[in-house]
Structure 1
Amino acid sequence: MTTLLVIAKEPRPGRVKTRLTPPYTPAEAAALAEAALVDTLRTVAATPAHRRVLVLDGAPGPWLPPGFDVAPQCAGGLDERLANAFAGCAGPALLIGMDTPQVTPELLTVDFADCDAYFGPAEDGGFWALGLARPDPGLLRGVPMSTPTTGAVQRERLLAAGLRVRDLPRLRDVDTAADARAVAALAPHSRFAARLACCSPATGGRADR
């Protein structure tokens, strides 16, 4: 069975989702990040898995449900931190981030019987999920992160290694206020959507100006 990895930052004001500020305050951005993280962890908890691991930059809080191991992120760029997360897995593993609260257990229930890798593209050109039947940190090291071509480069890296790749549906990450509204609409019953609704209408209304 698959190990599920969630890579995340502790939701502290000024440290997470800084692209939401403005229009939201650092405290609102952190609250939205925490809500997204809680939704993600609850989904992972509801997904069959060999092991569930939160790969965390920071310290766990009361938002962490039972059933998760916590591993600290290593130093270095995002490619190194993702690679290191996979390095701790002996068998099949699927890694996701904390900013797709619309994800479902069905999307995370993967079967490597007829493929070597799963790739979940994000609308911003990155990727929201990466699964490897045989985790190899070298498949991630050196991939330029946070660019419009990150996903394409990462997927090509998998193909160049001779892996059979199965694509997951394209999802939208929460980076901007427009992303937040779009994702909340996709998951109207989520904790994230409820938290967004609590943000000041006057503040949120400046997102498209």
Structure 2
Amino acid sequence: MTTDPPTCILVIAKAPEPGRVKTRLCPPLTPQQAAELAEAALRDTLEAVAASPARRRVLVLAGEPGEWLPEGFEVVRQFGDGLDDRLANAFDTDDGPCLLIGMDTPQVTPELMAPALAVDAWRGVDAWFGPALDGGFWALGLARPRPDLIRGVPMSRSDTGRIQRRRLIAAGLSVRDLPPLTDVDTVSDVADVVALTGSGAFAREVDRIGVLK
């Protein structure tokens, strides 16, 4: 029996450039501060992925990679007309089991992702689903690429996660859930996430900027 990691981890992200990321934090943050916070969130996310067992680690990026990118990641370009299309296209970068996560949950840890990354993660399982507390989702895993199950799902709505999960079930997939997490979209989300990130880059950057003061 093989003990090699079966899963490719996909991280879908935007390069942390002012005016392009975390715009809902402005105001009270400036575009520069929002970008610095986004970079810190991305650093924590990539660190968690780097510490997790994976067959491949792929950053699906809009923009250019920077010094924040650790070793061990392949970089592919994001493409598509909308977020649903970009997520669907991300799964086409690999033909095996994949777990896709974003950069909005810097509190993610290897332990939180572990059930979907275990050697037996796909035994009798077709999909993993990580709900977000705002109604979206922070993780989506598929045993094989099924872009058709993502395209057309309305994004950035309070029912996005419910619609996405329902579509997986309607397609006959066996779905297991990961723990729910909070996306960092607004300043009100920051305190909840900082409480879980410990001494990570996101918590340090929040303290440096003085977001919660």
The answer to whether 1:155 aligns with 2:181 is no
- Output aligned runs, 1:31-70, within 5 Å: 31-70=36-75
- What corresponds to 1:101 in structure 2? 106
Unmatched segments (≥5 aa) in structure 1? none
Q: Which moved more, 1:149-158 or 1:182-191?
A: 182-191
- What corresponds to 1:177 in structure 2? 187
Structure 1 residue matching 2:112: 3-state secondary structure: helix
The answer to whether 1:7 aligns with 2:15 is no
Unmatched segments (≥5 aa) in structure 2? 1-5
Runs of 4+, deviation exceeding 4 Å = none
Structure 2 residue matching 1:47: 3-state secondary structure: coil
Q: CA deviation at 1:199?
A: 0.9
Q: CA deviation at 1:108?
A: 1.8
Structure 2 residue matching 1:112: 3-state secondary structure: coil
Q: Give the root-mean-square deviation of aligned CA atoms.
A: 0.9
Structure 2 residue matching 1:16: 3-state secondary structure: coil
Q: CA deviation at 1:200?
A: 3.4
> Structure 1 length normalisation: TM-score?
0.95
> Structure 2 length normalisation: TM-score?
0.93
- Output aligned runs, 1:107-186, within 5 Å: 107-109=112-114, 110=116, 111-186=121-196
Q: CA deviation at 1:75?
A: 2.8
- Check whether the contact 2:80–2:89 (CA below 8 A) recurs between aligned residues: no
Cα shift readout 1:155-174 (whole Å, capped 9, x = no counterpart): 00000000000011010000
Identity of aligned residues (%): 63
- Cα distance in 1 between the residues matched to 2:45 and 2:210: 24
Q: CA deviation at 1:134?
A: 1.2
- Cα distance in 2 between the residues matched to 1:153 and 1:200: 37
